[in-house]
Amino acid sequence: MRHTVALLAASCLALTSARGQAQEAAKKPWSDAAELGVVMTSGNSEGTNFALANKFKYTWSNAEFTCDFAALRAESRTRDVENVGGVLVVTDTTAVTAENYLFAAKYRRNITERLYWYVGAGWYRNVFAGIDARYLVSGGLGYTFIKSARHLLKGELGIDATHEDQVSSDATDYAALRGTVNYEFKIGEKSKLTEDVNAVDNLDTTSDWRVNSLTALTAGLNDWLALKLSYLVMYSNEPPIQILPGPPAGPAGDVTYEFEKTDTILTAALVINF
């Protein structure tokens, strides 16, 4: 009897283990999350504001590939009314008030359980901040400091090779030192808080450094739908400048305009997980 019970127990354990392994094997190696935030107004005032983002990730046993895309655009219409000789004149003016785009791809591969190396490439555009286009390729090392059921903390340090086209100056090429910290706290089964900070220092002009901080709270509604609130702060210690030439004739000379050092973006979005 004891032998029969033991045999049945062993069989159950074997079946449970095989089922778990089959489920693990069936788990897809990739994930994709699309974010969409839209605000539209019409009538006396018209405006369109949208924020789009997509995060793709493919995982191997000892490596991963990520591809991120983000876009933000705000367009508004202003209306002026005036009396011209007893005739009502209505003038509508449409203008883009905010616009920036980002694309980044990165490949990471483990050296040990916690240490890894990475290579990546990216493109960024924010004309309203003085950046017509910024291209970069990067490489470096990363380390996982904490990895538990609720906490994940990683840090990376590497070098960027950057080509930058500013709105009103010549293109520049420079190397930059980049440090990144990524933290994730699982609030619940489908909810999490994340904080991503990266600092970049131009090695040719060390006073030209930048820091970005992205704080996000994601609340899952089910396995494929979630709500996300994020707050992005972008700081540039030496923002681009724009030279406004004076008139061809006359005593007035050129004037210089310096873009703001800090930009912030608050976004509420619907997240669709594939």
> Residue 45's pLDDT band (boundaries 50, 70, 90)?
low
CA dihedral 230, 231, 237, 240 (to 10 degrees): 70
Q: How confident is the model over 49-106, as pLDDT tens digits? A: 889 999 999 999 999 999 999 999 888 887 788 888 888 888 888 888 888 999 999 9
Are the C-beta atoms of 229 and 217 separated by less than 8 Å? Answer: yes
Quick check: helix, strand or coil at residue 134?
strand
- Residue 236 in this model has a pLDDT that exceeds 60: yes
Q: Which residue in 213, 205, 139, 236 sits closest to 178, CA to CA?
A: 139
Are the C-beta atoms of 163 and 173 separated by less than 8 Å? Answer: yes
Fold of 40-273: Porin (2.40.160)
Least confident interval from 15-19, 171-175, 227-231: 15-19
Whole-angstrom distance, CA of residue 111 vs CA of residue 143: 10
DSSP string for 209-225: EEEEEEEEEEEESSSSE
Q: Domain extents for the chain?
A: 40-273
pTM of the prediction? Answer: 0.80
Q: What is the residue whose two structure tokens read 């006396």?
A: 44
- pLDDT confidence of residue 252: 66
